[in-house]
Amino acid sequence: MYTELIDLTTISEEEREQAMDRAGEIIRAGGLVAFPTETVYGLGADGMNPDASARIYEAKGRPSDNPLIMHIVDTAQVEEIAAEVSPDAGKIMDAFWPGPLTVILPRKRTVPSTTTGGLDTVAIRMPSHPDARDFIRRSGRIIAAPSANISGRPSPTRAGHVYEDMKGRIPMILDGGPVGIGIESTIVDMTGDHPTILRPGYISLEEITDLAGEAEIDPAIAGRTPAKDLVAKAPGMKYRHYAPKGQMILVEGETSQVVRKINELTALRQAEGFTVGIIGTEETLSLYPEGIAKSVGSREQPQTIAANLYRVLREMDASGADYIYAESFFDEKLGDAIMNRMLKAAGYRVISCRR
Ligand code: TXA
Ligand code: MG
């Protein structure tokens, strides 16, 4: 299959109209279109068409019990797919939509089980990215969309990442440039007696607690090690997510000690003949051997770390590193969201320099 890559950032208004028309046609015919959102790129299909959502699983190589998020542009669309919206759920949607937040609500039976993975709930998100909104609105459909990566790879934060993974598998990619946030939406389950965060993201526990009075993070995913006796409520969180080909190890503690430890380990592995990659920050990059370290962002601005993380993980893989030593960000703002991804990528291997 030929994959058309359309650069929305450079084409004329008229070419954009034509491209959006074609994207809508593909969706209404049951096909797939990748599109930018403010979090990560999505792989969209008509969420109410079971054959279309089945194509998503096929293109991604994704297990079919892992449900998809339904993307809307208008709050009126919620009642097409949700059986019930509690007052708290309404408040949360009002406060954070459009934006990087997904709510879990009881589903209507009209939502195909291929989309919901057989669950009796549905995940709904209203993105804020103008290209995403334009695409969804003009398709005239509710768009089921997972992140547009091959299952097991980091989510795509630019169209080039989508192209790497989806070339030949889908007919169209809309390129809206690099995304702003860079990690997937906060997922909050609104079907219990208080909101439960099933996947941490840009919208924090504090922000949700402020609104609802009480909220928690799913205990199965809250810790620094996988909870042994608990099953994550979001089916996708139980899968071993992105693991680089090399062994990734997080180092935590006071920054100067972390840098020393990473340099020590690097020298050791290099002496053994291994290729090493280092994930550092703007503040520490000059303290590591040149050429093998990459900056993931600035500790002063943790949102830059979220924005660059998946790109840097892809680059580490491309560099062929056997060992990847990474600084960690447990205490920074967005720490829950960033470390949730980094811990998974590292298979929960953490070396602590605290004593
Ligand atoms: O930011 C995002 O949310 C991106 C963009 C494209 O919108 N989408 C995304 O989708 O990250 P995906 O498929 O990669 O992750 C969806 C997660 C999975 O962990 C899935 O198990 C969970 O949402 N999920 C979907 N429906 C659910 C439901 N009814 N109950 C619990 N978890 C659900
Ligand atoms: Mg994903």
- Mean pLDDT, rounded, for 259-286: 98
Q: What is the pLDDT of residue 242?
A: 76
Mutate to test the pocket of ligand 1, among 56, 69, 97 (most ligand atoms within 8 A of CB): 69
Query: CB of 197 within 8 A of CB of 92?
Result: no
- Mean pLDDT, rounded, for 208-227: 93
Q: Which ligand is nearest to the CA of 47?
A: 1
Q: Which ligand is nearest to the CA of 34?
A: 1
Q: How far is the CA of 345 from the centre of ligand 2 (A)?
A: 13
- Mean pLDDT, rounded, for 150-175: 97
Q: How far is the CA of 122 from the centre of ligand 1 (A)?
A: 10
φ/ψ region of 118 (left if φ > 0, alpha if ψ in -120 to 50, else beta) reads left
- Point out the ligand 1 atom lying closest to the alpha carbon of residue 39: 1
- Global pTM reads 0.97
Average pLDDT, the chain: 96
Q: Which ligand is nearest to the CA of 146?
A: 1
Confidence of residue 349 (pLDDT cuts 50, 70, 90): very high
- Residue % of the chain over a pLDDT of 70: 99
Answer yes or no: is pLDDT of 338 > 90. yes
pLDDT digits 0-9 by tens, 236-249: 887 667 778 899 99
Answer yes or no: is pLDDT of 57 > 80. yes
Mutate to test the pocket of ligand 1, among 111, 179, 187 (most ligand atoms within 8 A of CB): 187
Q: Going by CA atoms, what residue is nearest to atom 20 of ligand 1?
A: 236
- Mean pLDDT, rounded, for 333-338: 96
Q: How far is the CA of 186 from the centre of ligand 1 (A)?
A: 9
Ligand 1 pocket, residues with Cβ under 6 angstroms: 37, 39-40, 42, 66-69, 102, 104, 116, 119, 121-123, 125, 145-147, 184-185, 187, 198-199, 233-237
Rounded CA separation 35/313 (Å): 21
Confidence of residue 184 (pLDDT cuts 50, 70, 90): very high
Q: What is the pLDDT of residue 63?
A: 85
- Point out the ligand 1 atom lying closest to the alpha carbon of residue 235: 21
Go through 63-89 and write b for each residue having 16 or more CB atoms within 10 A of its CB, e for each that does not: eeebbbbbbbbeeebbebbbeebeebb
Q: Which ligand is nearest to the CA of 190?
A: 1
